[in-house]
Structure 1
Amino acid sequence: MTKVPASTYRLQLHKGFKFDDAAAIAQYLYDLGVTHVYSSPYLQAAPDSMHGYDVVDHQRVNEELGGAEAHKRFSKTLGENGLGQVLDIVPNHMAIGRENRFWWDVLENGASSRYASFFDIDWQPQEERLRDKVLVPILADQYGRVLEAGDIKVIRNGPLFLVEAAGQTFPVAPTSLPAILARAADYSNSDTLRFIAASFGRLPQPSFEDRRTVLARHRDKAVLNTLLERLCAEDHPACTAIDRAIDDLNARHDALDDFLNQQNYRLAYWKTADQQLGYRRFFDVNSLIGLRMERAHVFEETHALILEWLRQGVLDGVRVDHPDGLRDPLEYFQRLRAAAPDAWIIGEKILEPGEFLRENWPIEGTSGYDFLNVALGVLVSPDGLEKLTQVYADFTAQPVDFHVIAHDKKIAVSQEALGSDVNRITSLLIEICENNRNYRDTTRAEARRALRELAGCFAIYRTYVVPSRNEINDEDRSYIHRAIECAKSNRADLPPTLFDFLEDILTLKVTGRLETEFTLRFQQFTSPVMAKGVEDTAFYCFNRLTGMCEVGGDPGRNGLTIDQFHEYQSKMQQTHPSTMTTLSTHDTKRADDVRARLSVLSELPEEFASAIQSWTAANEQFKANTFPDPNTEYFLYQTLIGAWPIDAERTKTYMLKAMREAKQQTSWVANNKPFEDALFAFIDAILTHAPFVDSLSEFVAKLLVPGRVNSLTQSLLKYTAPGVPDLYQGGELWDHSLVDPDNRRPVDYDLRRKLLAQIAVLPIDKISASINDPEDKGVAKLFLVHRALQLRRQQPTWFGPEAAYTPVKLTGPAASHALAYLRGDHVLTIVPLHTAALTDGWDDTAVQLPEGRWSNQLAEEPHRSGKVLLADLFTSFAVALLTRDDNDAPTAA
C-alpha cells in the first residue's frame, strides 16, 4: 500500500544548511503539524552546489552536507520525531567534471569507455571533425589562439597525464601516450618504456556496445598504468625523460595540436556550445549532461542507493525531477514503481492549462505547479485583467498578445541557446528525407527552419509517443496536429508537404529505425524549448501582471471562474487524489505571498495605472540615456510592490537576473553594461528618494490586507483541496521572496518556534487583528497552517482519496466573492475572493450548512446546519475551515 504523506515540508539542503541543521528543526516541524520532510537532492553533487541537482555520484551521500553518517543521524532524528521523509531525485542528468568518475572515464576513453552507454552523446555527428569526440567548450578564445598563447599544456601528476586548460584538467587518451612515451624512451634508451609506449598504442578502440572488449581494454590499460608507475618509481632517468618529453611537446605548437587531436574530446571556444555540442544537456546548461535512463543498467546503477532507502523505510517516497527530459517517461515510472511498489511517487511534470497528467503513469501526481496556477487563477479579477491589458499597453507600447510573444521567444531560443539540439534532430530528419524520394531534395536549411517552427508551435511541453510500442493516443495526435497547422500558417515560405511529412512521422504513419529515433528525440527537444523560451524568457518580457508569470501558467489568460476551479479539483479527486499541492517551490518566480499581493492589482487597475504614471513622471530625472526602458520600469514597480519592503541590493540582484533572462536589453551571454549600470543607478536613486518611497509605501499599504487575505485563501485551498500539501521552507510566515537565490536565504527557525508557541495562547481576535499590522511577521498565516496541518495529521481520511470533493453553492449579492466546497462528510472550506473590490461588504451572502453540528477550526465557533452568513463566518478570521462532529456525519445506507 502506498505510503501517502498527510503533508510535506520542503527543505533546501546545502553546505550552509546541512543534515545536522535540518535534524535540529525536526521537533519544530512535528509541532507545526508536518508529517514528512521533503528534502532537496542530497546524493553527491558538484562542489559548492546550492541545490543538489548537479549529481556527480549516485552511490554516495553528499559530503558537503555531512556525508553518510550525518544522513543516518538526520533520518534517525526524523523517525524519533514522528516524521517520514520524501527525497527529490534527478534521473535525467548528471554534472560533468572530474568528480564524476563516469564522465572522466568517457573523456579518457571516448566511445570505448565503460560508461559511454550512460550518457546521451552523439558520437557520429554531421561534422566529421567532431566524430568520436566530445566537444568541451571552455576556452576564452579561439582554440588556435589559446594554444599559441601557451594556455593549453600537458602536465604529469604521478602516473597520470593531464591536459590543462582554462583552469581545468582533463585526462589523456591512453592511445595518444606513445607521442610522449616513445620520445622519452629515446631520451632514456629504455626498452621497458618503449614496450609500454607501444602497448598503449595497441589498445583496441571498441564501441561501448562491445562490452567484453571494452572491459578487456580497461584491464590492459590498468596493467600498463601500473607498469608505468613502477618504472617511474624504480628508474629515475626514465621518469625524468618523460618530463623532458612533455616539456618538448608543450614547446611545439604543431606537435601539441596533433597530440590534442588524438584525444577523445575537443577543446573549443565557449561560444561553440550553442551550435556544436554533441551531447544532450539539461536545457542549455553545458555542465549537465543527459543520461540514457532508458537503459536498464543505467537505471540500476543510478538508483541503487535510493531504492535501498525506500526498501529500508528511510524514505517513504520520491519526487522525480524533470521526467520530460527522459526518452520514455512511462517506461521509467513503470520501472521505478516495480522497484518501489509502496512508494509515494511524484513527478515534476509541468502541465499547461487544460492539460492533465497521463493517467497511465503509475505515480500519484505532479509536484503541484498545476494546483498553484489554478489557485492563482481564481484569485485574480478577470475584468481587472482586461483593464490591465490596456494599462500595460499604454505604459510600455509593448505587444500584449502573450502567445505571440511566447512563440517568438521559443523560436529565438531554438536558434541560439538550443542550436546544438536543432542541428542534431535536423541531421536525423535529413537522413529520413534522403531515404524518401518525395522529400529527398529537402535542404538542411528548410529542415532546420521547419523544426524550429514546429517546436515553437507546441502548446505543451511534449507528447509521449513511443514507436517501439506503437503507443500514441488521441491527445498526442491532437497536440501534434495543432502544432503542424500552426507551423504551416506561420511559415508559408516552407513547403506545406514537409510539415505533413513531419506529422506522419510523429504520429507513426511513417515508421522505421530513423523515424523512431527522430520522434523520441523531437519529444525530448520540445520540453527545453518551452522551458527556456517561455519560463525563462517570455515570462520576463510579458509584464501585464507579473505575478501570473509562473511555471506552467498562462499569463495571457484572464484568470479562472469559480466553476472552472471546481471542475479542476473534481478532476483531480477522480484521477490523482494524492498528487502534491504547492504554492511555492525552489523554482517559482515569486513566493506565494508576492503573487497574493500582486493579484490585488487586478482589482484596482485604475489606481495602479495612476500610481505608475505618477512614479514614472517623478523618476524620469533619474534615467540615463532613456534607461530603464518602459517595460523594465513597469516590471520594476511591480517587483517593488510585491516584495516591499525590499532594499536596493536585493532589488538590483533580482532585476539583473530578470532582465538578463528577458534578453530584451541585456542577456547572460551579451551583457549590456550601459543598460545595467543605468538600471542600478535608477534603483539606487528612487529607493533613496523620499517622495517616491513614501508614495510607494502608501500604495502598498492599500494592498496589505487584501493581499494577506489572498494569502490565507490560497493557503487554506492548498490544505483542503485534493492532494498532499507541500510547504516551502519558511513559508509558514509571510514570505515575499523572489526567485532563487532570493528564496534560498536562511530561514529564522528560532522566530518560528517562538511564534508557534505564542499562537497556542493568543486569543483569536488578536491573531486575526495581526493581519492589519504592517509589522506582523505572519502570525495569522502560521495559525492557519498549524491548525490545517494538525487536522490533516489527526484525520487523514477526511482529506484522502475516499473524501469526495463537492462544490458548495453560495447565495446572496456577494456570492461571486467567495468559494466553498466539501471534502467528504466532514470538512467544509469557505474562502473570500477579490476582497479589495468588495466595496459593499457581504450583505446577505450565505452558505447552507449540511445537517449536523459544525465547528470552525480557525475561530473556535460552533454552527448548526442551515443558513450561515459569510459576514458571521469571516468576522473572527479571514477564512473558514469547518468540520462536522463525527457523531453527526451521515452513515452509509
Structure 2
Amino acid sequence: MTPPSSTYRLQLRPEFTFTDAADQVDYLRKLGAGALYASPVLDATPGSTHGYDVVDPTRARPALGGEQARQALARKLREAGLGFVVDIVPNHMAVEVAKANPWWWDVLRNGRSSAYAEHFDIDWSRGRLLLPVLGDDDAVAELKVEDSPDGPELVYYDHRFPVAPGTEGGSPQEVHARQHYELVGWRRGNAELNYRRFFDITTLAALRVELPQVFAEAHGEVLRWVADGDVTGLRVDHPDGLADPGGYMRRLRESAPGAWLVVEKILHPGEDLPQSWPVDGTTGYDALREISGIFVDPAAAPRFSLLAGSPDYHAVEEEARRLVTDTILVAEMHRIGALVEAPDAPAAVAELMIAFPVYRSYLPEGEAHWAQAVERVKAKRPDLASTVDVIDRQVRAEPHGELATRIQQTSGMVVAKGTEDTTFYRYTRFAALNEVGGSPDRFGTSVAEFHELAAAREAGWPAAMTTLTTHDTKRSEDVRARLAVLSELPDEFAEAVERWTGQHGIDEPALNLLAWQTLVGAWPITADRLREYLDKAAKEAKLRTTWTDHDEEFEAAVAAWPGQVLGDRELGVEQFVERVKGPGWSNALGQKLIQLTAPGVPDVYQGTELWDLSLVDPDNRRPVDYGVRRELLDRIVAGELPEVDDTGAAKLLVVHKALTLRRDRPELFHGYRRLRAEGPAAEHAVAFERTGLVVVATRLPVGLAAAGGWRDTVLPLPPGDWTDVLTGTSAVAELSGLLSRYPVALLVQGDR
C-alpha cells in the first residue's frame, strides 16, 4: 500500500457528476494533488445533494452518470497518475423513499421472511416495524391503496409502501393492519422506534455489517472497483456506529489489502486510535484541532468568557447530552435498558452515556474510558450505583455481548448529538474552537503541544489524513483563521459586540454572540446565506426553537436580523473586518502550509485553494468556480508571485507549491524536528524540519506588528544552502528578510 501524496476532496451531486469531476482532472494534476477524494458515489436517495443516504450499494449512482461515467473518471485519473479515494457509508442506508431502496422495500413487503430482514438492525421482538411518517396517528384514515406495476401499494401523500402478498382487500386501513409494518405519527419515532438509526434520523436505518453476508453484499461493488485498480483508497464514514468497528476494519483490510484506508474517527485530546485497527489513520479532525489551535492566543480566554457570560462548558455539555438521552434517543435508552434486569436501567444507561469522556470505547480496548464513565455516574448518582454495577459486570463479562455492543454504539450518538450538534451552538464563547473534534473549553493549542503531536503522528500514523476543512466542519478553515485574530483583540472585539448588540441584538445570548462572530468571520456574506446559517444554528442549539417544535416569533426575528445588520452601514462591522482581514490571511496561509507539509496525508477541500469563507453544510457545498482557479494557477505556474490580497491567489501559490513538492519529491517528507527561532519575536514563529525541508509560519500577527515586527529575530537553519520554494529566493536566517514577501516560507536545500 502506498498512500497518496495528498488528496483533493470533491462533493459529487447530480449537478456535479462523474463527468464534471473528470473535467477537473487536468487541473488537479497541475495543482499538485495526489488523488481525487470523492463523496459517496453509490446510488443514493433521489435528489440527494451529498450521497450519504445510500439506497443501493450494488451500483454507481445513476444521477452521477452511472457505471460508464464512473469508469471513465477512473480511467482519466489513472492516466493522469492520480489516485481515486472513495467515501463509503457502512453504518446505514436511506429509507426515506422506501421504493428507492430495494432491500428495505423487500423487508416491508415480506417482514421477517425477507432475505434482507437481518440486514437491518431491527428489533423484531416488538412486533411490526414502526414507521413514523404520518402527521399524527389519526392520519391512518388518509391512507389509500393504489395499483402499481409492482402490485398494490399503500399511499400517504408522497410516501408509498408495498402491500404484502395475500393481504389485499377491504379498506386501506384494513390493508394497513395486515402489513409487516405500522405507519404512525412522526413524533412517536424518538420514543418508540424499533430499528436502529443514524443518530436521530429515522430515514437512515442502520445496517448489520458485522454479519459476513451483509458485509459482502454492502461492499461487493466498491471492493470490485478496488480489485480492478479503479479505486486506490477508502474513507470509512462513522465507524462508531458499527457493532464491532475493529472486526469491521480487519475484514475490510483483508478484502482490500492494497487500499489506503482512513476512518472518520473523532479523537478527543489525548485519545488514540485503537492499536488493533489495521487502518492508516483518521480523516484528520485531530490534526485540524492541533494546527488551528496554535493561531489562537490563549491569553484572551478570560475576556471572551466574560463576554459570553462565563458559562461552565461541562455544565452546558451535560445539559445538552441529557436533552438527547431524555428526548431524542429515548427509544435507544429503552432498548438498551431492556437488556438489564433493573427497573431503573434506562436511567442508568442514559447517565453512562452522558458521562462518557470520549465518543465510545472499543472493549476490551479503551477499558479506562468505560471505567471512567462508570465511576462518574456512581459518584454523581449514588441512587443508581447498584444498577450501574450490574451493567458494569455484565459489560465486562461479555465485552462483545449485546449490552456492551449497544452501549458502545449509542454512546457515540449521544456525544455527537449532545456535544457537536447542541453544545457547540450553545457554548459560543469563541466559535473558532467549536469544531468537529474540537474542545471549546481548551483555548487553543500551545506550540510545544503541536510539535509533540506532529512528531507522534510521524512516528505512529504517518499515512493518516490531515485536514482543515471538510463537508462536516462547522465553518471553513479561512473563517477560523480570521476568527483567530479576534483572540489578539479581545477587548476591541468585546466592546464592538456590546455596541452592536445594543443596536441589533438577538434575544438569545448564545446565538447573539455566535451571530456576530459569524458575521465578522464570513464577511462579505449575503443576507440569505447568513439567514440560513442562523436558522440552523438556532434549531441545533434547541434553546428557543428546534427542528420539530418551532417558536415562530423568535424564528422570524432571527430571519430578519441579517437584513437589518447588513443594511446598517453606520454599524461599523465592515470597518472592523478590514482591521482583521489581513492578519486573518496571514493565519490562513500559516495553517495551510503547516497542514500541507506536516506529517500525514493532507486533504484540500474543494475550492479552498483560494480563500473560502463557507459555513456549515449545505453552505460548504456551494458550486466551485474552477475557471477562476485555472486562470490563476496558469499565471502562478508561469512564474507570477501574487500579492496577499482578496483574490486568494497567494493561498493558491502555497497550495500548488506544497502539493507539487509532496508529489514530486516524497523523499523530503520524512522525519520531524522542531526548529526554534531566537530573538525578541521568537514566539511568533512556528518552524519545523523534515528531511531536507524546512517550513516556517507566522503566528499571532497582530501582536507581532504591535511589537515592531521581527526585528532581530532569526531562525538558525540547518547546514547548507536553502531556497524558498514559494519565491525562488535564497533563504536567510533573519525572519524579517525570510518572511518579507509572505508570512510563510517553504525551504528546500539547493536551488529547488
Contact 1:787–1:858 (CA under 8 A) maintained in structure 2:
yes
TM-score by length of 1: 0.82
Q: 2:339 aligns with which of 428, 432, 441?
A: 428
Aligned mates of 2:145, 2:745 — CA distance in 1: 70
Which residue of structure 2 aligns with residue 578 of structure 1? 463
Aligned mates of 1:84, 1:618 — CA distance in 2: 53
Which residue of structure 1 aligns with residue 353 of structure 2? 455
Which residue of structure 1 aligns with residue 729 of structure 2? 861
Which residue of structure 2 aligns with residue 119 of structure 1? 120
Aligned mates of 2:184, 2:568 — CA distance in 1: 48
Contact 1:461–1:527 (CA under 8 A) maintained in structure 2:
yes
Aligned mates of 1:95, 1:122 — CA distance in 2: 18
- SS class of match (1:852): coil
Which residue of structure 2 aligns with residue 633 of structure 1? 512
- Cα-to-partner distance string for 1:693-738 (whole Å, 9 max, x where unaligned): xx10111111111111110111011111111110000000000000
> Residue type matched to 2:579 in 1?
K
> Residue type matched to 1:477 in 2?
E
Which residue of structure 2 aligns with residue 17 of structure 1? 16
Which residue of structure 2 aligns with residue 340 of structure 1? 256
Q: 2:717 aligns with which of 849, 864, 867?
A: 849
Aligned mates of 1:280, 1:176 — CA distance in 2: 27
Which residue of structure 1 aligns with residue 135 of structure 2? 140
Which residue of structure 1 aligns with residue 106 of structure 2? 105
Which residue of structure 2 aligns with residue 186 of structure 1? none
Contact 1:95–1:288 (CA under 8 A) maintained in structure 2:
yes
Which residue of structure 1 aligns with residue 746 of structure 2? 881
Aligned mates of 2:54, 2:560 — CA distance in 1: 39
Instruction: Report how far residue 490 of structure 1 moved.
Output: 2.8
More helix by share: 1
**Residues 370 and 158 of structure 1: is their aligned pair in 2 closer, same or farther, counting only changes over 3 Å?**
closer
Which residue of structure 2 aligns with residue 484 of structure 1? 374
Contact 1:282–1:290 (CA under 8 A) maintained in structure 2:
yes
RMSD of aligned residue pairs (Cα, Å) = 1.6
> Residue type matched to 2:404 in 1?
T
Instruction: Report how far residue 504 of structure 1 moved.
Output: 2.5
Instruction: Report how far residue 458 of structure 1 moved.
Output: 0.5
Is 2:581 the counterpart of 1:704?
yes
Is 2:550 the counterpart of 1:671?
yes
Instruction: Report how far residue 739 of structure 1 moved.
Output: 0.8
Aligned mates of 2:426, 2:157 — CA distance in 1: 35
Is 2:679 the counterpart of 1:812?
yes
Is 2:615 the counterpart of 1:738?
yes
Contact 2:433–2:443 (CA under 8 A) maintained in structure 1:
no
Contact 2:348–2:384 (CA under 8 A) maintained in structure 1:
no
1:594-673 → structure 2 map (5 Å cutoff): 594-619=479-504, 627-673=506-552
- SS class of match (2:112): helix
- SS class of match (1:117): coil
> Residue type matched to 1:504 in 2?
R
> Residue type matched to 1:648 in 2?
A
- SS class of match (2:507): coil
Contact 2:133–2:186 (CA under 8 A) maintained in structure 1:
yes
Larger radius of gyration: 1
- SS class of match (1:160): coil
- SS class of match (1:3): coil
Aligned mates of 2:596, 2:217 — CA distance in 1: 37
**Residues 698 and 159 of structure 1: is their aligned pair in 2 closer, same or farther, counting only changes over 3 Å?**
closer
**Residues 500 and 663 of structure 1: is their aligned pair in 2 closer, same or farther, counting only changes over 3 Å?**
same
Is 2:37 the counterpart of 1:167?
no
- Cα-to-partner distance string for 1:383-434 (whole Å, 9 max, x where unaligned): 11232112221xxxxx5221221121111111111111111101112xxx2x
- Cα-to-partner distance string for 1:192-240 (whole Å, 9 max, x where unaligned): xxxxxxxxxxxxxxxxxxxxxxxxxxxxxxxxxxxxxxxxxxxxxxxxx
1:36-51 → structure 2 map (5 Å cutoff): 36-51=35-50
Aligned mates of 1:713, 1:273 — CA distance in 2: 47
Instruction: Report how far residue 261 of structure 1 moved.
Output: 2.3
User: Structure 2: where are the runs of 5+ without partners?
Assistant: none
TM-score by length of 2: 0.97
- SS class of match (2:739): helix
Instruction: Report how far residue 159 of structure 1 moved.
Output: 6.2
Aligned mates of 1:793, 1:146 — CA distance in 2: 60
The runs of at least 4 consecutive aligned structure 1 residues that moved more than 6 Å come to none
Aligned mates of 2:275, 2:680 — CA distance in 1: 40
- Cα-to-partner distance string for 1:122-145 (whole Å, 9 max, x where unaligned): 1113xxxxx1x1101111122xx2
Aligned mates of 1:370, 1:747 — CA distance in 2: 26
Contact 2:274–2:362 (CA under 8 A) maintained in structure 1:
no
Is 2:677 the counterpart of 1:779?
no
Contact 1:140–1:166 (CA under 8 A) maintained in structure 2:
no
Contact 2:140–2:184 (CA under 8 A) maintained in structure 1:
no
User: Structure 1: where are the runs of 5+ without partners?
Assistant: 126-130, 181-248, 251-255, 394-398, 434-441, 466-471, 621-626, 888-893
- Cα-to-partner distance string for 1:157-216 (whole Å, 9 max, x where unaligned): 356122112421111222434xx3xxxxxxxxxxxxxxxxxxxxxxxxxxxxxxxxxxxx
Contact 1:138–1:166 (CA under 8 A) maintained in structure 2:
no
Aligned mates of 1:604, 1:524 — CA distance in 2: 42
Contact 1:596–1:711 (CA under 8 A) maintained in structure 2:
yes
Q: 1:536 aligns with which of 416, 421, 432?
A: 421
Aligned mates of 1:35, 1:763 — CA distance in 2: 23
Aligned mates of 1:285, 1:495 — CA distance in 2: 30
1:509-520 → structure 2 map (5 Å cutoff): 510-511=397-398, 516-520=401-405
Aligned mates of 2:638, 2:161 — CA distance in 1: 62
Instruction: Report how far residue 762 of structure 1 moved.
Output: 5.3
Which residue of structure 2 aligns with residue 495 of structure 1? 384
**Residues 649 and 498 of structure 1: is their aligned pair in 2 closer, same or farther, counting only changes over 3 Å?**
same
Contact 1:827–1:884 (CA under 8 A) maintained in structure 2:
yes
Aligned residue pairs, count: 748
Instruction: Report how far residue 154 of structure 1 moved.
Output: 2.3
Aligned mates of 2:514, 2:140 — CA distance in 1: 45
Aligned mates of 1:600, 1:105 — CA distance in 2: 55
